[in-house]
Amino acid sequence: MQVSFACTDHGLKAPRNGEHSKQNATSPNTASQARARFRTVALIARSLGSFTHRYHHNLKESTAKLTGMKYRNLGKSGLRVSCLGLGELKFKSGNFSCLCQVAEQLMTIAYESGVNLFDTAEVYSGGNTFLVLAETERGLNRKHIIEEIVRAMTHVINQGMAMYWGTSRWSAMEIMEAYSVARQFNLIPPVCEQAEYHFFQREKVETQLPELYHKIGVGVVSWSPLACGIITGKYENGVPESSRASMKPYQWLREKIMSEDGRKQQAKLKELAHISEKLGCTLPQLAIAWCLRNEGVSSVLLGSSNPSQLTENLGAIQVIPKMTAGIASEVDHILGNRPHSKRDYHH
């Protein structure tokens, strides 16, 4: 089983007795929210072995038949990953103990559903993001930064601290530069790119990255399949007070939803809901299955705040066989934003 944890608790101290109850995630202090989330993930990462011993069969053999989980190669690396992964844990309220309990439930549900890809990057929580910075005598131009990053990642892998490395939100040009540097200096190139991909964000994943896959074998791990919750349909009649878009740090999301483009997107989602009803699934499940229809996508990262939401999203696996060329064509007709590409990656 391949399980990847990207988790650090750098600069964080363990809470003293009685502090757990004071760490309420409703506080405006984003650092406190970040600490709670990072400690939660670190705790679960350390205790992962406490529930993996229950399984005596290979993960794919023991779960695939029950859950229908599919496994795909991560680019051309040979690494097999579940087509659905667990990304952001979107906690809104509760003290540290409650967050631990919910996080463990989410991790367990994902694991028992056949998920073997867990992405817990700190950037999800709006806290301290781990950055790779390179400063040389020649300055901080892009070429030098990319070269240093490739060298650093190669060192990490050679030291046995990782098996592969990938990029996130890099342009196709930057990824090609990293590959060229690796070839030139006999270093290890990235095997995947994490990119935003959903109904309303298609260009990069459908036109740029497929070419990179065929040239250098870079795969795609996509994120935000529900467009920060926009595709759930909960913003159909405005911004509910309990939603993420109502929170101060997400003012940009609220503005996006309330804009003219946002209203047009909601109108399209109403039409797409008719397709999901026809297929017997929810709109979020349709959106996730639509992402997975793309052969170039190795895995789609799911963000969840509670067990029922995660269970619903994992149910998108059952919708994949229903994503026929005809259904995909209907979706394209409603969206009206299919980018021009050299290849057709629909099944």
Active-site positions read: 124
Whole-number Å distance between alpha carbons of 195 and 204 = 8
Q: Are 286 and 248 in contact (CB under 8 A)?
A: no
81 alpha-carbon distance from chain centroid: 13
Structure tokens at 43: 């705790």
Whole-number Å distance between alpha carbons of 68 and 188 = 34
List residues bridging with 194 in a β-sheet.
168, 221
What's at 195, amino acid-wise? Answer: A
Whole-number Å distance between alpha carbons of 31 and 209 = 35
H/E stretch holding 21: none
- Cβ-Cβ contacts under 8 Å for 27 (sequence gap 6 or more): 33
Q: Are 330 and 342 in contact (CB under 8 A)?
A: no
